[in-house]
Structure 1
């Protein structure tokens, strides 16, 4: 009897190089942070980053986004290392995608397409799938070229092409038809959601908002004792999850919403209208911030700008700084390095120090917690109970 043979069936992980074109005003530190985020997005989408390219320009090249010399450099690396795709940290115009694709002969992905791919991977419900699919087709429509696989092969039947109609024209027509069908489907979902929200109108509603990967789902699980998917990846959840929470006989609905991110594709915001309605129609927003992230202040600004874009900036907000365990650990290491060689050991940072900082002074309704280590969760519950009770009894004064 011969020896058993085993064959590798798992698909090899795709490789990617990242490209950023910052302005001269942007610091190297900020560029690194942005590329770190892009690398995290790439990893979340399932690919491996093997190289980063940066070219500072006053403005990107209109034809190929990067200059010709940098494009040659990228091309040489891609060819030598058999790279699968090149990912840009900005949105590319359809003509830029075509030109770069022609030069490099590999898959070209811009920031919006990468985020759309992750949303497609993360979508769990039929509605989320339809929302992402529509955003993908809206992105695809102006970018159809001969380099794309023809969509006409995906649809059965005869007579798909009219006389003299090119394949690309056929593809565009099919995409428009798909967008139209998806819009109809989403309108039905929207009607169902509206009825659901109407039936919940009598109960106070609280929405967790924040930059992606700040720990909203973990907080949701703690407060609602539910099991919402939480993972250390960007956009771990893209569906709005709603749970009923009761604190000291005061009920309210808590929703965990999709995380925001820098340069979130406009088409995606439009497609996720019903999910974002959970935010728009909430009585209180709990803005969760990852205080251990070096760019947390920028993240706060991004979330505030997105709330403004979706007409939810006028809501009452409770600011919650999460991951204080990681922040205090980082701060302690920094202080030890600063005091290296000195006789007096550094004073260990504490939560009280955080409360005394400009963050607490600037944001009067700020709480400092660690959802993972369950630090100050009781304080969060108490503050939520106070806020929700005020809304509840204002709405139903006879219940006081």
Structure 2
């Protein structure tokens, strides 16, 4: 190509800065650079969205490339093709002249070809006596060679993005199938849990899947569905463990023997009795406070209604799933203000903030201690954070916490749906923990 040559369009077509920039870029071809025209064309097809060209424009480019005599595009062999409109229309699948001109303009604007117009606007080539082309007027494909590396990189990125989108769609489809089957199995087996609410949440997530979705949108939905699936699996696993424990207990009952029925010695020490003895000793000022009292753990008693995690209540405080601290703070950003120094960096900070919030909400110490025993300290602090976030909708935080504790002991409560609902209500906004 005539490197450094600036040409203006024929007739009333105006010159633009974009056309000048394309001509300058076409003059930066590295010496000796060559590319297969059809491999380069396939790369352009892969990168079509990034290049901003239509499929009809690519049909015209395909027809133009057929007029280039060699398979390898190189500057030494010339970069100008000069077909007539009639011949170009035939090779462009019979495209009409008006449509042909429109898509040629698209290729020029996209910087894939250049016009090199003759004095009268015709396309032709002047040859010397030996038959070699001396001067040619038509369309220059020099930009394809100058942008070959860029086009190949765009094509590789397009292929990678398409594969990622396909993989994400497949994972989302499998996750949808898993949730649907798990909920159906839970309902058929009468597994305790709020399956109706989980079904509503699942349908809401499915309804949010757009017809034409990006990878980012599908990844966000996949993350939420993954939490819902984990929650369903957690509830079903708890049911399986409960059935195994019930089967083991019934088997032990059938083989239970006691040679001395009047003996007061049990196979295991009584947790309630020891706690009662220590509490009585503390009231008399004789014994030191117990470890559980120092840590503010719940003390089961006959009047408090609390239950200790013993053999009579095997699932309390051990089977409720804990969620990442970052997700808890994303769902409940209001509790950040009550952490040490106005920030929460770990679970200890969250539990400290929960104690302050518990007092502010009017939740009694006994209700909070029962929640710690039934759910675990981390989950109890998480529930307090959720109650604070929904404070305007809960009339009695203490009664609400006791009800959640009882539902947890029966295996009917899960924290996951509550957290996900708050994440959506807050618009997915994130605040740093500390």
* Same fold, TM-score > 0.5, yes or no: no
Q: Which has the larger radius of gyration?
A: 2
| TM-score computed with the length of structure 1 as normaliser | 0.21
| TM-score computed with the length of structure 2 as normaliser | 0.20
Higher strand proportion, which one?
Answer: 1
